[in-house]
Amino acid sequence: MKISVFGCGYLGAVHAASMASIGHDVVGVDVDAAKIASLSEGRPPFFEPGFDEILQAGLDSGRLTFSTDAADAADAEVHFIAVGTPQSADGSADLRYVNAAVDAVLPHLAEGALIVGKSTVPVGTAAELAPRIDAAGGRLAWNPEFLREGFAVQDTLTPDRLVYGVAAGDDAAAAKLDELYADVLSHGMPRIVTDLATAELVKVAANAFLATKISFINSMAEIAEGVGADVTQLADAIGHDARIGRRFLNAGVGFGGGCLPKDIRAFQARATELGYGDSVAFLGEVDRINLRRRDRVVDLASEMLGGVEGRRIAVLGLAFKPDSDDVRDSPALDIASRLREAGALVTATDPHAIETARRVRPELDFRPDTDDALAGADLVILLTEWREYRDLDPETVAGLVSGTRVIDGRNVLDGAAYRAAGWEYRALGRG
Ligand SMILES: NC(=O)c1ccc[n+]([C@@H]2O[C@H](COP(=O)([O-])OP(=O)(O)OC[C@H]3O[C@@H](n4cnc5c(N)ncnc54)[C@H](O)[C@@H]3O)[C@@H](O)[C@H]2O)c1
């Protein structure tokens, strides 16, 4: 099937290459000429495991092309909208890119073609877009995306479920998506067909739940710290209850990235606009708990060093999560910047996110080499749980630093091993 994907960022580029990998003819369209040039040459504009292979394979097969010209999408049967929906100043979702992408498709829309929203949008967005698309002879569906960065290819090709939001009675839209996703559906995952509003709401509800789960355990961490309890044991113990589950109960510096923070804020903004602000008021607390964890690391660093000014702090990790170079609303980058602003001499490292971090925080002292970042540090703070940082040998690292003090911001290091090697080991939520 000939399809197009408007927006070739973390979501759209992976979607385009994944759809080519299951046999579709795909054109990826983006307004960013540099990104399109890079993708066309097989150079991924971001780090995502497995993406470079499917990108190259797609280009080699001739089934995957990229363009800045919406006209190149003219003969597609399905057009995906995968552009960004960033946070506006008032917390609501900025829909200007979604509107611009739809406006770009409409003049080239074949009769009966399907526009499929993938971007995360406030409930009601599809209802606002639909009349314009109907008038142009097309149809609209919403197919929210649940991929996790770091597992984006796997999650696109073998998702936990597919959700199709379609207009009342539009069985043809669901049938078209079934045809498109036949390969994906052959793995047997559930497929849920809903109305448009439900599909939009499913996505923000999923992210609201995940954010709440993380902030729940981080609120327990605040208390555990105060009373000398251990939040990791608490998480293990409650996580054995199948109704609760252990996943997403890892206490630490909290969530970040291009989705959860902005999505819970946009959800509150939209719900308030619709008169349901009280229903999601708890998300304000979820957000505050999350941001307080960052304050806690800055305070703890100061406590351990007797003030951070002029002290050397090695920050391990800048990406908002491992296996990604994404630093959007990254707790790690935020903490590194705040420590620097407080006068610390921060040396920051990350296996893949130095370049993305440098673009937004050029003032930080980045050290691509981990040993170089650690050399002479008075304090080491682990903020993104990359495998290489988890695997560091406390004895070897002790030989590099000036002061054997460590904050485990993700509760992933072997605290006993660090203590045995002479370190002052502190972790969030473990008094
Ligand atoms: N990244 C994720 O893990 C993820 C997961 C699920 C859902 N989402 C949602 O997917 C959407 C995209 O997220 P992302 O992380 O890929 O963002 P991104 O910023 O990486 O990519 C967005 C892309 O859209 C392009 N764009 C903007 N206006 C355009 C236009 N008019 N025509 C064509 N391209 C245009 C931008 O140049 C950019 O390359 C957001 O709504 C996000 O919430 C993202």
Average of per-residue pLDDT across 344-369 = 98
What is the Å distance from ligand 1's center to 13 Cα? 9
Reduce the DSSP state of residue 256 to 3 states and report it: coil
Average of per-residue pLDDT across 329-343 = 98
Determine the distance from the C-alpha atom of residue 417 to the mean position of all C-alpha atoms in its chain, rounded to a whole number.
32
pLDDT at 355 over 90: yes
Structure confidence at residue 381 (pLDDT): 99
CB 126 within 8 Å of CB 117: yes
Average of per-residue pLDDT across 257-273 = 98
What is the Å distance from ligand 1's center to 195 Cα? 23
Give the residue among 394, 258, 416, 257 at the shortest CA–CA distance from 316.
394
32 CA closest ligand 1 atom index: 37
C-alpha separations of 19 from 23, 47, 288 in Å = 7, 19, 38
* Closest C-alpha to ligand 1, atom 18: 9
Residue of 155, 259, 270, 327 best suited for mutating to test ligand 1, as the one with most atoms within 8 Å of CB: 259
Reduce the DSSP state of residue 313 to 3 states and report it: strand
Query: Which amino acids are annotated catalytic?
Result: 259
For residues 327 and 258, give the distance between their C-alpha atoms in angstroms, rounded to a whole number.
Answer: 8
Residue of 18, 27, 30, 96 best suited for mutating to test ligand 1, as the one with most atoms within 8 Å of CB: 30
C-alpha separations of 69 from 28, 104, 117, 326, 331 in Å = 10, 9, 19, 27, 36
152 CA closest ligand 1 atom index: 3
Structure confidence at residue 150 (pLDDT): 96
For residues 333 and 359, give the distance between their C-alpha atoms in angstroms, rounded to a whole number.
Answer: 12
Q: Which CATH superfamily is domain 2-194 in?
A: NAD(P)-binding Rossmann-like Domain (3.40.50.720)
> Which contiguous run of DSSP H or E holds residue 336?
helix 331-341
**Burial class, 239, CB count within 10 angstroms (exposed 0-12 / middle 13-18 / buried 19+):** middle
Mean pLDDT of the chain: 98
Q: Which CATH superfamily is domain 220-427 in?
A: NAD(P)-binding Rossmann-like Domain (3.40.50.720)
pLDDT tens digit sequence for 43-52: 999 999 999 9
Residues within 6 Å of ligand 1 by CB: 6-12, 29-32, 35, 82-85, 97, 100-101, 104, 119-120, 145, 147, 149, 258-259
Average of per-residue pLDDT across 300-328 = 98
pLDDT tens digit sequence for 158-196: 999 999 999 998 999 999 999 999 999 999 999 999 999
What is the Å distance from ligand 1's center to 6 Cα? 9
Residue of 18, 46, 68, 83 best suited for mutating to test ligand 1, as the one with most atoms within 8 Å of CB: 83
* Residue 4 dihedral angles phi and psi, to the nearest 5°: -125, 155
Residues 6+ apart with CB under 8 A from 85: 93, 94, 95, 97, 98, 119, 120, 121, 262, 266
pLDDT at 431 over 80: no
Asked if 2-194 and 220-427 have one fold, the answer is yes
For tokens 């609760």, the residue is 244
Provide, rounded to the nearest whole percent, the portion of the chain with pLDDT above 90.
100
**Burial class, 110, CB count within 10 angstroms (exposed 0-12 / middle 13-18 / buried 19+):** middle
What is the Å distance from ligand 1's center to 138 Cα? 22
Strands in 159-269 per DSSP E: 162-166, 191-194
pLDDT tens digit sequence for 216-232: 999 999 999 999 999 99
8 CA closest ligand 1 atom index: 39
Beta bridge partners of 407: 381, 426
119 CA closest ligand 1 atom index: 41
What is the Å distance from ligand 1's center to 418 Cα? 41
Structure confidence at residue 362 (pLDDT): 98
101 CA closest ligand 1 atom index: 31
* Closest C-alpha to ligand 1, atom 30: 101
Average of per-residue pLDDT across 385-414 = 98
What is the Å distance from ligand 1's center to 186 Cα? 27
Structure confidence at residue 188 (pLDDT): 95
pLDDT band at 32 (very low <50, low <70, confident <90, very high): very high
For residues 159 and 191, give the distance between their C-alpha atoms in angstroms, rounded to a whole number.
Answer: 10
For residues 42 and 52, give the distance between their C-alpha atoms in angstroms, rounded to a whole number.
Answer: 7
C-alpha separations of 286 from 204, 214, 282, 293, 366 in Å = 14, 8, 6, 11, 31
114-117 and 78-81 strand pairing = parallel
For residues 346 and 239, give the distance between their C-alpha atoms in angstroms, rounded to a whole number.
Answer: 36
pLDDT band at 120 (very low <50, low <70, confident <90, very high): very high
Domain boundaries in the chain? 2-194, 220-427
